[in-house]
């Protein structure tokens, strides 16, 4: 008898529910999120040799459990929280949210829905994802520090500092100042400390970018052959997409990147509007790639100008270019996957 085991994972506990082929509840239990709790969960599941696991949010809160199950050669499906919530709302019991109810809803989704993503062992893409997120955090911290520096310089320098402030420019401004009074001296001292913070952050950003460059080189990706794609953007694409074969066509991939326009036609007027859906990090990476091509002689620039000549606005032409680049990235990722072994996903 084939059994679907749905799991509602939390930081401190995991609630599991087993459904048979008819969707009837066989049993449900709660286990602590510890090594002992995991072993107890596995022993409980051994009652059904033919089993399939369904973990809610296997890319988020459920990642540790899902990865441990896959490493133990279990078949695991990733159930999006939205799908489980819809099942819970439409089920009996007035849609009350409890851990046991959530576990049953997760199992019901896996039992009835098709096309759920199978969880595989984490690979090199996860390394790139972690490194690009770390770089993003450091760049954000640098931006915040420079903004604080701008606020102090407004009170120290007439008119403040110009845009695109760097640590060297700020240091030069501060070196030319002679603060008068204790408030001005304190501002000068704090600004000097912020300049040191910016320099330290820039060193850390350079270090993580070097690690990204090495990791991208190890991936042997063809993305670097695309105009406007360097190691950082290539790492973003590889880290965010993972296994590109989960997208059947370039159209599915474009919907995921938010570059597939949404129809907004009315009567005889046929128009398409910007899509706010999809992965915004991938969308931003495509935007950066498009801006590089628009500003420099390239096939992308020629395509952009051709769209302008057709009567499209600059924003509409840029959206068309982003969609074209999305297709190019999809082809490269697909070609890379053909030269690599299939990801490990064991039933």
Q: pLDDT band at residue 117, thresholds of 50, 70 and 90?
A: confident
Helix (H, G, I), strand (E, B) or coil at 175: helix
* C-alpha–C-alpha distance, residues 62 and 196, integer Å: 40
For the chain, count helices (H), then strands (E): 12, 8
| Tens digits of residue pLDDT in 17-70 | 999 988 899 999 999 999 999 999 999 999 999 999 999 999 889 999 999 999
- Say what the pLDDT of residue 147 is: 95
Q: Is the whole model's pTM more than 0.95, yes or no? A: no
8 A C-beta contact, residue 313 and residue 326: no
Beginning with the edge strand found earlier in the chain, give each strand of the sheet holding 13-19 in spatial order.
Answer: 25-32, 13-19, 3-9, 51-56, 76-79, 117-118
- Say what the pLDDT of residue 343 is: 43
Least confident interval from 20-29, 87-96, 126-135, 276-285: 87-96
Q: Calculate the CA 143 to chain-centre distance.
A: 21
Q: pLDDT band at residue 100, thresholds of 50, 70 and 90?
A: confident
Has residue 323 got a pLDDT over 80? yes
| Tens digits of residue pLDDT in 254-263 | 999 999 877 7
Mean pLDDT of 200-206: 97
- Say what the pLDDT of residue 346 is: 30
Cα torsion through 89, 90, 94, 95, rounded to 10: -20
8 A C-beta contact, residue 28 and residue 43: no
User: Token digits for 58?
Assistant: 């296997």
Q: Rounded to the nearest 5°, which phi and psi values hold at 274?
A: -65, 140
Mean pLDDT of 96-109: 87
Least confident interval from 41-55, 74-88, 281-295: 74-88
Q: pLDDT band at residue 89, thresholds of 50, 70 and 90?
A: confident
Secondary structure (H, E, C), 251-297: HHHHHHHCCCCEECCECCECCEECCCCCCHHHHHHHHHHHHHHHHCC
* C-alpha–C-alpha distance, residues 115 and 117, integer Å: 6
Instruction: Give one DSSP letter per residue of 126-140, joined into a string.
Output: HHHHHHHHHHHHHHH
Mean pLDDT of 317-324: 93
> Tokens 């899509």 sit at which residue?
275
Relative orientation angle of helices 81-90 and 99-112, to the nearest 10 degrees:
100
Has residue 123 got a pLDDT over 60? yes
- Say what the pLDDT of residue 93 is: 57
In angstroms, the Cα distances linking 219 to 212, 224, 231 are 11, 11, 11
- Say what the pLDDT of residue 342 is: 45
* C-alpha–C-alpha distance, residues 188 and 64, integer Å: 47
Q: pLDDT band at residue 95, thresholds of 50, 70 and 90?
A: low
> Tokens 């770089």 sit at which residue?
135
């Amino acid at each position: 008898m084939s059994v679907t085991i749905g799991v509602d994972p939390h930081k401190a506990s995991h609630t599991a529910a087993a459904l048979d082929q008819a969707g009837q509840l066989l049993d449900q239990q709660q286990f602590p999120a510890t090594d002992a709790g995991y072993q107890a969960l596995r022993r409980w599941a051994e009652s059904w040799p033919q089993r399939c696991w369904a973990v809610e949010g296997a890319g988020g809160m459920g990642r540790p459990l899902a990865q441990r199950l896959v490493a133990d050669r279990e078949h695991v499906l990733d159930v999006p929280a939205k799908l489980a919530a819809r099942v819970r709302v439409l089920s009996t019991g007035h849609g009350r949210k409890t851990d046991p109810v959530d576990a049953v809803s997760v199992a019901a989704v896996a039992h009835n829905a098709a096309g759920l993503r199978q969880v595989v062992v984490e690979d090199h893409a996860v390394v790139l994802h972690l490194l690009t997120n770390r770089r993003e955090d450091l760049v954000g911290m640098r931006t915040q520090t420079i903004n604080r520096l701008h606020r102090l310089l407004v009170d120290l320098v007439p008119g403040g500092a110009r845009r695109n402030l760097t640590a060297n420019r700020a240091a030069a401004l501060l070196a030319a100042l002679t603060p008068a009074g204790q408030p001005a001296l304190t501002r000068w001292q704090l600004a000097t400390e912020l300049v040191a913070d910016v320099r330290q952050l820039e060193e850390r950003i350079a270090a993580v970018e070097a690690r990204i460059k090495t990791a991208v080189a190890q991936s042997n990706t063809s993305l670097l052959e695309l105009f406007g794609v360097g190691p950082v953007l290539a790492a973003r694409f590889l880290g965010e997409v993972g296994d590109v074969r989960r997208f059947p066509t370039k159209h599915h991939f474009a919907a995921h990147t938010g570059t597939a326009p949404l129809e907004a036609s009315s009567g005889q007027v046929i128009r398409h509007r910007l899509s706010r859906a999809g992965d915004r990090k991938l969308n931003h990476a495509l935007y950066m790639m498009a801006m590089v091509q628009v500003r420099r002689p390239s096939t992308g620039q020629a395509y952009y100008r051709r769209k302008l000549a057709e009567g499209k606005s600059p924003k509409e032409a840029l959206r068309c270019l982003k969609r074209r680049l999305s297709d190019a990235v999809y082809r490269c990722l697909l070609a890379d996957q053909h030269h690599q072994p299939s990801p490990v996903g064991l039933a």
